Amino acid sequence: MDLTISRLGNARIVSPLKKASDLAGRPYRFTPDDMRVVYDASVRPGEKKGPESEMSFEKAGARELIYFDPSKLKAGIVTCGGLCPGINNVIRSLVMVLHYNYGVKNIFGFRYGYEGLVAEAGHPAVDLSPEVVDGIHHDGGSFLGSSRGEQDPAVIVDTLERMGISLFFTIGGDGTLRGAQRIYDEIMNRGLKIAVICVPKTIDNDILLVERTFGFETAFSIAQQVIRAAHTEAVGYPNGIGLVRLMGRNSGYIAATAAVAEADVNCVLIPEVPFSMDGERGLISWLLKRLQRRSHAVIVVAEGAGQEVLGGGDRGKDASGNVKLGDIGLFLKKAIAEGLDKAGVKHNLKYIDPSYIIRSAPANPNDSMFCSNLAQNAIHAGVSGRTGMVVGLWHNMFTHVPIREAVSKTKVIDPDGDLWRTVLQSTGQPSRMA
Amino acid sequence: MDLTISRLGNARIVSPLKKASDLAGRPYRFTPDDMRVVYDASVRPGEKKGPESEMSFEKAGARELIYFDPSKLKAGIVTCGGLCPGINNVIRSLVMVLHYNYGVKNIFGFRYGYEGLVAEAGHPAVDLSPEVVDGIHHDGGSFLGSSRGEQDPAVIVDTLERMGISLFFTIGGDGTLRGAQRIYDEIMNRGLKIAVICVPKTIDNDILLVERTFGFETAFSIAQQVIRAAHTEAVGYPNGIGLVRLMGRNSGYIAATAAVAEADVNCVLIPEVPFSMDGERGLISWLLKRLQRRSHAVIVVAEGAGQEVLGGGDRGKDASGNVKLGDIGLFLKKAIAEGLDKAGVKHNLKYIDPSYIIRSAPANPNDSMFCSNLAQNAIHAGVSGRTGMVVGLWHNMFTHVPIREAVSKTKVIDPDGDLWRTVLQSTGQPSRMA
Amino acid sequence: MDLTISRLGNARIVSPLKKASDLAGRPYRFTPDDMRVVYDASVRPGEKKGPESEMSFEKAGARELIYFDPSKLKAGIVTCGGLCPGINNVIRSLVMVLHYNYGVKNIFGFRYGYEGLVAEAGHPAVDLSPEVVDGIHHDGGSFLGSSRGEQDPAVIVDTLERMGISLFFTIGGDGTLRGAQRIYDEIMNRGLKIAVICVPKTIDNDILLVERTFGFETAFSIAQQVIRAAHTEAVGYPNGIGLVRLMGRNSGYIAATAAVAEADVNCVLIPEVPFSMDGERGLISWLLKRLQRRSHAVIVVAEGAGQEVLGGGDRGKDASGNVKLGDIGLFLKKAIAEGLDKAGVKHNLKYIDPSYIIRSAPANPNDSMFCSNLAQNAIHAGVSGRTGMVVGLWHNMFTHVPIREAVSKTKVIDPDGDLWRTVLQSTGQPSRMA
Amino acid sequence: MDLTISRLGNARIVSPLKKASDLAGRPYRFTPDDMRVVYDASVRPGEKKGPESEMSFEKAGARELIYFDPSKLKAGIVTCGGLCPGINNVIRSLVMVLHYNYGVKNIFGFRYGYEGLVAEAGHPAVDLSPEVVDGIHHDGGSFLGSSRGEQDPAVIVDTLERMGISLFFTIGGDGTLRGAQRIYDEIMNRGLKIAVICVPKTIDNDILLVERTFGFETAFSIAQQVIRAAHTEAVGYPNGIGLVRLMGRNSGYIAATAAVAEADVNCVLIPEVPFSMDGERGLISWLLKRLQRRSHAVIVVAEGAGQEVLGGGDRGKDASGNVKLGDIGLFLKKAIAEGLDKAGVKHNLKYIDPSYIIRSAPANPNDSMFCSNLAQNAIHAGVSGRTGMVVGLWHNMFTHVPIREAVSKTKVIDPDGDLWRTVLQSTGQPSRMA
């Protein structure tokens, strides 16, 4: 795995942060350009380690020498894909820090995702200034709007060139990052001096090499409340079943974490751990036993779970290039009712899908802080001439990660790891349900 | 309309409230037995009024003389039908006031609705004391559990007789009230001295002759937040549409009130106001114009709205005796998408159904207070020997209403009244969409 | 008591609401000009009533004929006194309904209370339009700012005249209403055609002849949560005491209502019910017994309570003309500690004063609706030529009340009424603590 | 610094976790006994590092071989000091994991802190089982109660011996940890086989060698809302000043983090950065300029800030052994008013002290998860025979830290580090105010 970060050229300009902090009598502690964060921070005496243990990330942070002259720099911001708590915090912080700390006065916001960089879509860019973005962090959603779907990288780079933008921030998930990589490739092919810096946005927390993504904590926090509602419904009726479908296309982090946090969940189903409906060890059989013993059950399912039981073959891909999933929530709602009816067990199933309520919420305070720090480090990286990278977190330190590596695979829950083990302990569900 | 309240006999026992308050040096102001609340409190000089203006309700409140000897009284409580914020507050207050203020020491809770009074269902009754119910008002749902469905009134009255219960409180909606009326009839037929007092529970706020029902305020308060989420989604995408389905089988109070409270809704659809999908004045046509003008829209629909556009014929009745409704939410989700596709308008529709999240929430503080007052007045009525009645609110005063009249019709929004006019003003939607 | 409302002249102009609703095919149900709401809606057969029972309020609502020509009308809005949840909702609704429903295009907001109408204070008025006020209802506080203190009515009327304002809305409490009365008197003396309409703002809910004021519900709802914190602290330590000071200068509505809603309070102290610290029936003696029995206690005190035990003589008046109160919260904190120390009882007292957190909160959904309705009725009244009045609520219907009568006395809790009795039942505190 | 963890003896018993997971077909990945976490995970090529870089912590986690036989083990839990969000989550998880995963059936809860281990205080210990603690995590505070103050370690160890407790968990802050160290020393002196394991509880997040403590996130999240209230008050009046006092005796983490998260704060005062009131660069002078420019200001002060400006000499120590602080909040409230009055500047200062509201809140979902993980790792450490240690977090991994080192100093904000720099950027306040 190559964790080297591309650079547009040598950084020779003294950062405006230096002057300001020197003046204030409190010199800035810049991050040395060659400072790195080890991939593996746990050690055993005398241990033989594989090549992974030698890996390290470039450490994020302000640099003393930067590449762009901030006074002449024009920056652009785009937000793509699904909504996620904290998008507006990132936008706001990007504008605030660019404006106040680096003195960048020309900042453009592109509307409705990559569409906003394609003239024919008819969404003119908006000027972003501290006045415009002040207060937007109190609202959920994206102040700039979003959209799914690919746009021609050549057209996008044409737009960036025409507008004179040298620093381009994309806030988006997997599809967006792949798009950003194509834009970066196009820029490199043309030999342009435009930096592409990504703030990874995935409510599912599934970006490889990145410990945590913004919005995830807010998401599982709201999910926990919804699970509580499901539990209230379940205990409120004879053989009550609360079934909650949560986000998680490839990874069940939200489902698993919310379930443990609430502590009243009896079964969590995630994409990483296959299960079957029928048979002695299947879901229906487990549920029958559970109802007999306790007469209620709460089940949480991640949207990407159980694709193997859904059937229906290949569903193609959506505009973001994601594999289209069958709806496991509605499937389970129906299949559980049928299974229990077949077994002659009267029951009360209540199905809740809170996805849009969760993703459109404003960031909670901890995510707000995190978004602010991500934005700062994205700017530090961009003005230093770095490009083709995402801002990551590793061992609780901010890092630089090549887009290429970040999108190479999806981060998933390890079924033998601590999180899943905690889920098993908390729910008491069997470790294999197939 | 006959608003006379049945009584089991003459009240001749001095209320324990009298002694206690006299001792404390602050004599109780009992409600005179013949005190009433006028039906129509607005007057015009010289106005000729119809017979309705002559109507009045018996006023609720503690009576100086009561019918039952509290020291020997056994009371029972049952909760039926769908969950609703505040059920636990009512249970708790019933127990607290019976125990501490009237000295009633035998209070039984029946589990899972009327099923709990039918031995063969196998849900033994639970003893209720202050220790048991303390703190339950902080949780949503029903501490006793609930269920839908009719049970044989004869069997229920057998149970009440066998257990020696003379004061029977039912907390439930339309179906429950009709069940209570049948239980009351059975008791009367047998000549028993058992009082049946109902605390009306309908999150939809649709009980006739009752100004407000508990849980309604909590419900539309949460609904407002959900609408905000829908608005965030709608403005976040080009031609974004937020579609929220809310409770309201026969009456659109929750939808209408939440829409006005949030002030970002563009169209409210309720059972009381028919609409059509197609045609120049239909929903699709309106939506196309709205999207052209503002490129987003928020639509709120009550579950009972638009049954006329759904088709599908008679769906029969559910266990509570309610007409089964077609799912207008999923219908609109599909029909809007098809309508816009047909018109060649790309769009982003997000559908949210928060029903279970709303109904399982704990009561907000104002509903908590209200539940507490309802419970007190239910007890005052019951110990005084009244029966076959629900506790109501009229002109902001608590009243007694015969079950028979309360269930004779459903309370609905007047399409020419103030609430609906406020909706039209707030949304700007056309007053006729058909 | 004279409940006649002054009018500037005959209403001869057809309301624009009529044309719009006729066009829409849903004719407006205007409130007849002589429609009234009875003061006393409870009746006893054959009862002899005093003169009060004959009293009635003018009913609020849109009139078919209005006095002002909306197309030429200029309106002004001012907010004064302490913050209160819902001020922004009222401002927003005033602007929205004036603009969209009546077609009033010139609306001015005066900044920082009556100061904003006095040129020398240097706060220029702001233009208010739907764009400006859209979204302000999501924030607490006052969008226009507020201040305390009297200003010369002559100067204020000069400003109104100079700006050509004919419809002047004041949002404020007791002091503001008295100021509005003086402005009204000045206008009458000069024979001007300027309507003065007040939306009463008192978080304490203490306006006479008005059933409920906006912000009160939001206030006691937040207060309830704070009481819960106090309870958590109290039970967390041996002999833990949670002491919460709430708003309520002359009336203990917030303290009483929040205490009942939370149901974990052991003693409520309000201005209406005097108490003493010492003696066998005093607070300290009660507290010692309570701690011995349960080893914790939660006490809620309204800010105006116990002025008689505070001592310290006359404290003068504040800028709003309110009598300056001694700080009963800090007094009790000290006096309780001393009393218990003297009795040799180790304890842990935690004192919480959440006033500013409560009053600066945004309105909850129910208060939002209420504010919206208050604003509508204020406008209906104003355009009809009514003046010198506040918008009230009585028997759950909106009414017109002369300012003069509304400020003649303060509404207080009746120590023999239902609310206080419920407090005594809920807390178990002695009905006399003196 | 010696990071070696004491052990009671060799671990020779196979963990019950092994058998259960083997049976379930998903073998447990135990943490090797010699696994460590590096102190410094950032590297520079060719860098010369000091001795600190060589330091490492023992890694927490379940061990394959344990010291105690769980079937015979008796455990005890005590909570001491101030309330903090998450205490109940820790208690609940300790009980759940001990009971269900290790099969420990005898778990005792000591009431009201170390007092509960001293017979003469009269607080008998309570039996803790899953039934007893289920649901307590939804409430704030401490289910066991707490107290401040030292108790004789000899008496405490007598109690542990008499009750046969071999695994003793303390949940508490600085004072508690020092107490735990004395208990540990006493146990060692007596040669007993009792493990002492601490879960560090400091809402201030100020434990050395521990990246994060539970409750801190919940605390700054609520603090953020309070700051918002202060901002609403500040902008609501001419020259409005919102002054918020937050927790933080030695370290300003809550104040700094909440201020950055809310982004509307103009000045943060913390213990780590001295300031003066007067002089050209003092607080008053800065405030006068701020008010002139923007006519409002929000100031957040940590309780331990500005002790140098308070005067008043040595105040002694409280029961927990903490230096008694002067009340900087009330001091500033008075001093600012005087300073501005002296400068002839009319203003409106609103002072908010939300401490008890914050510390008594239930843990937010992220803190809930964290508490659960802390408890698990505390148990893993204890059953393995480790003692005299706290459970820590470093580089986002759970660790073991000797109590002795954890209490050797307080963790404070580095005035030249990233957090404080972010504060300066966010507030715009001068980096030196003295």
pLDDT tens for each residue of B204-214: 999 999 999 99
Distances from the Cα of C264 to the Cαs of B103, C288, D226, in angstroms? 21, 18, 24
Q: Which has the closest alpha carbon to C309: C268, C281, C277?
A: C277
**What backbone phi and psi angles, to 5 degrees, belong to D247?**
-65, 165
Is the per-residue pLDDT at B198 higher than 70? Answer: yes
Q: What is the pLDDT of residue B51?
A: 67
Set of chain B residues whose Cβ sits within 8 Å of the Cβ of C30: none
Is the per-residue pLDDT at B162 higher than 90? Answer: yes
Q: Please identify which of the residues A33, A134, A152, A204 carries the catalytic annotation.
A: A204
Q: Which of A348, A353, A360 sits opposite B229 (nearest CB)?
A: A360
Q: What is the pLDDT of residue A432?
A: 87
Q: What is the pLDDT of residue D305?
A: 97
Q: Which of C24, C34, C262 sits opposite B44 (nearest CB)?
A: C34
pLDDT in tens, D341-380: 999 999 999 999 999 999 999 999 999 999 999 999 999 9
Task: State the smallest CA–CA distance between residue B98 and chain A in angstroms.
Answer: 24
pLDDT band of residue D21 (cuts 50, 70, 90) is: confident
Q: What is the pLDDT of residue D347?
A: 97
Average pLDDT over residues B319-347: 91
Is the per-residue pLDDT at C308 higher than 70? Answer: yes
Average pLDDT over residues A271-296: 96
pLDDT band of residue D49 (cuts 50, 70, 90) is: low
Q: Cβ neighbours of residue D137 under 8 Å, at least 6 residues apart?
A: A263, D88, D89, D92, D362, D363, D368, D371
Q: How far is it, in rounded angstroms, from Cα B19 to Cα B116?
A: 36
**What backbone phi and psi angles, to 5 degrees, belong to D432?**
-130, 130
Assess if CATH 3.40.50.450 describes domain B6-42+54-213+361-406: yes
B354 contacts A235? CB cut-off 8 A: no
Q: Please identify which of the residues D174, D204, D264, D353 carries the catalytic annotation.
A: D204
pLDDT in tens, D104-161: 999 999 999 999 999 999 999 999 999 999 999 999 999 999 999 889 999 999 999 9
Strands C65-66 and B74-79: unpaired
Q: Which of A83, A115, A123 sits opposite B232 (nearest CB)?
A: A83
Task: State the smallest CA–CA distance between residue A35 and chain D in angstroms.
Answer: 5
Q: How far is it, in rounded angstroms, from Cα D424 to Cα D433?
A: 12
Set of chain D residues whose Cβ sits within 8 Å of the Cβ of C295: none
Average pLDDT over residues D29-36: 95
Q: Which of D140, D229, D361 sits opposite C356 (nearest CB)?
A: D229
Q: What is the pLDDT of residue D122?
A: 93
B142 contacts A236? CB cut-off 8 A: yes
- Supply B291's token pair: 């999207």
Delimit the domains of chain A by residue range: 6-213+362-406, 216-360+415-427
pLDDT band of residue B314 (cuts 50, 70, 90) is: confident
Q: How far is it, in rounded angstroms, from Cα C292 to Cα C279?
A: 18
Rounded to 10°, the helix C365-383/B253-262 angle is 80
Length of chain D (residues): 434
Q: Which has the closest alpha carbon to A397: A422, A374, A420, A425?
A: A374
pLDDT band of residue D50 (cuts 50, 70, 90) is: low
- Supply B81's token pair: 């039908």
D236 contacts C83? CB cut-off 8 A: yes
Which range (B180-194, C320-334, D377-391) has the least confidence?
C320-334
What kind of architecture, by CATH, is found in domain B217-360+415-427?
Answer: 3-Layer(aba) Sandwich (3.40)
pLDDT band of residue B48 (cuts 50, 70, 90) is: low
Q: Which of B97, B221, B422 sits opposite C364 (nearest CB)?
A: B221
Q: What is the pLDDT of residue B49?
A: 66
Q: How far is it, in rounded angstroms, from Cα B375 to Cα B199?
A: 7
Q: What is the pLDDT of residue C47?
A: 73
Sort D209 into a burial class: Cβ within 10 Å, 0-12 / 13-18 / 19+: buried
For residues C397 and B394, the answer to whether their CB atoms sit within 8 Å is no
pLDDT in tens, C182-215: 999 999 999 999 999 999 999 999 999 999 999 9
Locate the chain D residue with the closest alpha carbon to C222.
D357
Which chains does D contact via 3+ CB–CB distances below 8 A? A, C
Q: How far is it, in rounded angstroms, from Cα C7 to Cα C235?
A: 58
Length of chain B (residues): 434
CATH number of A216-360+415-427: 3.40.50.460
Average pLDDT over residues B398-404: 98
Radius of gyration of chain B (CA): 24
Set of chain D residues whose Cβ sits within 8 Å of the Cβ of C230: 356, 360
Set of chain D residues whose Cβ sits within 8 Å of the Cβ of A263: 92, 137, 368, 372
- DSSP letters along D190-253, please? HT---EEEEEE--TT--BTT-S--TTHHHHHHHHHHHHHHHHHHHHTSTTEEEEEEE--SS--H
Average pLDDT over residues B219-236: 97
Report how many Cβ contacts below 8 Å link chain A to chain B: 87
Q: How far is it, in rounded angstroms, from Cα A210 to Cα A200?
A: 9
Averaged confidence pLDDT in chain D: 94
Length of chain C (residues): 434
Average pLDDT over residues B345-353: 97
Q: Which has the closest alpha carbon to A114: A164, A168, A73?
A: A168
Class of the CATH-defined domain C6-213+362-406:
alpha beta
Which chains does B contact via 3+ CB–CB distances below 8 A? A, C
Q: Cβ neighbours of residue B289 under 8 Å, at least 6 residues apart?
A: none
Q: What is the pLDDT of residue B311?
A: 79
A261 contacts D29? CB cut-off 8 A: no
Average pLDDT over residues A40-54: 78
Q: What is the pLDDT of residue B124?
A: 96
Report ipTM for this prediction.
Answer: 0.94
pLDDT in tens, D270-295: 999 999 999 999 999 999 999 999 99
Higher pLDDT, B324 or C159: C159
Q: Which has the closest alpha carbon to D250: D322, D351, D354, D333?
A: D322
Same fold: B6-42+54-213+361-406 with B217-360+415-427 = yes
For residues B305 and B328, the answer to whether their CB atoms sit within 8 Å is yes
pLDDT band of residue A50 (cuts 50, 70, 90) is: low
Residue B18 burial (CB count, 10 A): 17
Average pLDDT over residues A289-295: 96
Residues of D in CB contact (< 8 Å) with C are: 83, 112, 115, 121, 123, 139-142, 145-147, 226, 229-230, 232-233, 235-238, 242, 348, 350-354, 356-357, 360-361
Radius of gyration of chain A (CA): 24
> Phi/psi zone of residue B348: left (φ > 0), alpha (ψ -120 to 50 degrees), beta?
beta
Q: How far is it, in rounded angstroms, from Cα B243 to Cα A309?
A: 30
Task: State the smallest CA–CA distance between residue D59 and chain A in angstroms.
Answer: 8
pLDDT band of residue B46 (cuts 50, 70, 90) is: confident
Is the per-residue pLDDT at C49 higher than 70? Answer: no
Q: How far is it, in rounded angstroms, from Cα C244 to Cα C229?
A: 10
pLDDT band of residue A46 (cuts 50, 70, 90) is: confident
CATH number of D6-213+363-406: 3.40.50.450
| Residue D174 three-state SS | helix
Report how many Cβ contacts below 8 Å link chain B to chain C: 153
Q: What is the pLDDT of residue C432?
A: 87
pLDDT in tens, A249-273: 999 999 999 999 988 999 999 999 9
